[in-house]
Amino acid sequence: MDILDQIDKNKLPKHVAVIMDGNGRWAKNKGSQRIQGHKQGALSAQNVVEAAVQAGIQYLTLYAFSTENWNRPKIEIDALMTLLVNSIHNELTKLVDKNIRLHTIGNNTQLPAKVRNEVSKAIEATKNNTGLNLIIALSYSSRWEITNAVHQILYEYKANPFDIDSFSQEKFASYLNTANFPDPELLIRTSGELRISNFLLWQLSYTELYFSDKLWPDFDKTDFYNALHYYTQRERRFGKTSEQLNKK
């Protein structure tokens, strides 16, 4: 029996976030250049997107490029940007056919014009799709996102002061890049690293964490389904006791 058939569909998360880590180490282990690891990683991303569609996941966020990644060698950044443009261009027809809607989060002003243009075209072409919401984090970091939200709030307060005491967590969240998406219930990180690397710090407050020792290019559909199965076995208490949850 396929592992997907063993998963309780009623307990699946609505939103899964993924830190796709290990491309460089995968390439090094193969004696290849780092860009070959990124190319193989792009194929793994495609497989995971397909797996999310097959499982009926509503939101999938992939951490593709962080603000810290701009500190990498220029030759690697240029190759990554080219790979990104080509991947979006080549996958657009599949996104439309599979009813996937594309979104991005992050500081897109830092992205090259060719990337912004390709992303904008794909977002426009898929805006009426009603299936999986695929969210790509590009030039993203959570500290940048939170700081950016604070800037917006301060500018608004300066222009039109409001009641500070009535400002809520929900109101703050409305200034984040993810304002239109539910918080992730499950975070997957590959390559054996046990950290969240400045990713969705606000949104991950009650997220279940799943760490895989596999390098991202080796992560496949079965691995994704194993993570989903792990999630369905968790008890989501949100500060309550098991007795409170099970009380009739």
Please list the active-site residues. 21, 69
For residues 158-176, one letter each, b for 16 or more C-beta atoms within 10 angstroms of the residue's C-beta and e for the rest, the string is eeeeeeeeeeeeeeeeebb
| Cβ neighbours of residue 144 closer than 8 Å, sequence gap 6 or more | 67, 106, 107
For residue 119, give the nearest of 140, 105, 133, 99 by alpha carbon. Answer: 105
184: part of which helix (H) or strand (E)? none
Cα(88)–Cα(32) distance, rounded to whole angstroms? 24
Angle between helices 113-126 and 74-97 (to 10 degrees): 10
Residue 232: C-alpha distances to residues 29, 62, 83, 178, 226 (Å): 34, 21, 35, 24, 10
Cα(240)–Cα(94) distance, rounded to whole angstroms? 43
Quickly count helices (H) and strands (E) in the chain: 8, 6
Cα(34)–Cα(208) distance, rounded to whole angstroms? 30
| CA atoms lying within 13 Å on the CB side of residue 178 | 28
